[in-house]
Structure 1
Amino acid sequence: MAICRRCGADHPPEELIRHELPGLTLVHCPDCRGFMGRYRRHGDAPRTDRR
């Protein structure tokens, strides 16, 4: 369970709002929309310069 530091709500991880960016995931509380964390996604293929 994840507890929001802003409103104190307790949610299972599958209920959290996720914003998927290249290589990064941002997580927000579904109740107050408060920011809860930032996580690196290691499964993404890295961008490489192939000259």
Structure 2
Amino acid sequence: MPAYVIFPDATIYGIVEAKPTSLESLGQVSGVGLKKLERYGDAVLEVLAAHRG
């Protein structure tokens, strides 16, 4: 499923800008609510970790 179906663009930009490394820090991003954090948080962090350089 494309990311824009789960999170609006503003939230995706916020995640990219914040570069969270934990569920706690991801949950601080505007637009990432508890349900989305529980459902998609680990997958989002995995993608971010894979693209860190």
- Verify same fold: TM over 0.5: no
More strand by share: 1
Q: Which is greater in Rg?
A: 1
Question: TM-score range with shorter-chain normalisation?
Answer: under 0.3
Structure with the larger RCO, 1 or 2 (CA within 8 Å, 6+ apart): 2
TM-score (norm 2): 0.26
